[in-house]
Amino acid sequence: MGNSWKTDDTQEVSRGTGPRSVRDLVGRVEVETIWDPLPKSHEGCPATAALTNLIRCTDRLGAIRQAEIALADDSCTRYARCVWHGVTVLICSGELLSADGHISRFESSSDDRLDDVVALLRAQHAKHAGDVSGVRTLLERLISSTPHRFVRDLAVPFLVEALATAGDVAAAEAVLDEYDFDELLAGRPAARPLLLAIRGEFHLAAGRPAAALADMLACLRGPVSEVAAHSAVVRRRGVAALAAAADGRSELASALADEEEEAARGWGGLAYVGWAQYVRAMVDEPDRPSRLLNDAIDLLDAALSPAGIAASSYEQGVRLMESGDGTAAREQFKRAGQMARRIGNTKVAELAEKMLGELTQSLQQTQLTAQELKIAEMAQAGYSNKQIAERLVLTVRTIEFHLSNVYRKLGISGRRALLNKTLETP
């Protein structure tokens, strides 16, 4: 294959002359060297072409095709860089089944040179598949056992990301303190975009939007390196938009949300488009039940993205509950709790359970009793209070008392409004 792989696109990326990915904030795309340079005969391979498309968020199907070509070619898979590029592109494209097959093949091979890189890729695959507790175990073991400083310096931020995804902000903070992210940033300039993106996500999860925004804007301004071909970097515009919105910078938040949506639609993956819809709903429709959130939930569900479903469903549930639609809110909280438990996010799972408990209590307080329902049905049928009392062998005062409770529970003002209400059996 050799130089026949080289295209204008791959040459452009390697020179750092590609188009702006965020027009107002980011300079030209560059790819910094991470591992030893590839030999001249291997420059411009399919894995590099796939990486080019991922960084630019263009031609997802072409990127997948190029990644598959690279991972099927022994002349590519002898290089850790090519393996990283190919599998990472598949993971970021939502091709988890294919990525799993390639990772499993490398895990069973006898090539010790790839072991640690493949372990990092396995951790990334597990995170996208929803096995956050498994990611934590794998990365902690890798950090404590690997003799390679470079691998450990990547495993640390990946662990912070996994802990934040699981809602364990305190544990993520402890990892940041123990391994000194500022030192990592200074010592790994090629990994700087990745480190900033992950720390920015963590700051946002920890309720520090200003710090999150500072990290995400620094990530956006910096060059995009090979090792930064990772979901945290791919969706950096969206995290920056959420941080800007939380920090009260609505104009910047809207501009970043526009950029994220444009990038997501250019790339075309269900999970990425669903994420962009979630960001758009949080920025532009923050206070009411949102059609955009419904769209995001549907897309994330189709993409099998449990973390995304948990966040989007919980947010929609809160909005539905505040708008008075308890039935719809209940379904969203159930889904959010289920997905949160699946990925090990006990924080969101507990919040969803708490909301479900509040809804149940509220329903019990507003649900009509059997006697109230019978009286309400007779009132709807046109019976007067006196006629209802005679038929049920009760006093008129008792009928008035029950109807007063009916009006209060249904949130209406009187008998005329009752005529238009649908009564539900308790």
Residues 6+ apart with CB under 8 A from 165: 127, 132, 307, 343, 345
pTM of structure: 0.76
Alpha helices in 93-207 (DSSP H): 96-107, 115-129, 132-145, 149-165, 169-179, 181-187, 192-205
DSSP string, 342-362: HHT-HHHHHHHHHHHHHHHHH
Q: What is the CATH number of domain 2-284?
A: 1.25.40
Round the CA-based radius of gyration of the chain to a whole number and report it. Answer: 27
**Which tokens is 383 given?**
């019976």
**CA 25 from centroid of its chain's CA atoms:** 23
Domain ranges of the chain: 2-284, 285-366, 367-418
CA distance 150 to 176: 17
Q: Would you give per-residue pLDDT tens digits along the chain (426 residues)?
A: 333 333 333 333 333 333 333 333 333 333 333 456 677 777 778 998 998 899 888 899 999 999 999 999 998 888 888 899 999 999 999 999 999 999 999 999 877 778 888 999 999 999 988 888 889 889 998 888 866 787 888 899 999 999 998 889 999 999 988 888 888 888 878 788 899 999 999 999 999 999 999 999 999 987 776 676 788 999 999 999 999 999 999 999 999 999 999 999 999 889 999 999 999 999 998 888 889 999 999 999 999 899 999 999 999 999 998 888 888 999 999 999 999 998 888 889 999 999 998 887 766 556 788 888 889 899 989 999 999 999 898 898 888 888 988 888 787 888 888 888 777 665
CA distance 197 to 216: 6
Q: Classify burial at 177, counting beta carbons within 10 Å of its beta carbon; exposed 0-12, middle 13-18, buried 19 or more.
A: exposed
**Which tokens is 384 given?**
């007067």
Do the domains spanning 2-284 and 367-418 agree at the CATH topology level?
Answer: no
pLDDT in tens, 82-130: 899 999 999 999 999 999 999 999 999 877 778 888 999 999 999 988 8
Phi and psi torsions of 414, nearest 5°: 175, -165
CA distance 364 to 380: 23
Residues 6+ apart with CB under 8 A from 301: 309
- In this structure, CATH architecture of domain 367-418: Orthogonal Bundle (1.10)
DSSP state letter for 38: P
DSSP state letter for 37: P
| Type of residue at 6 | K
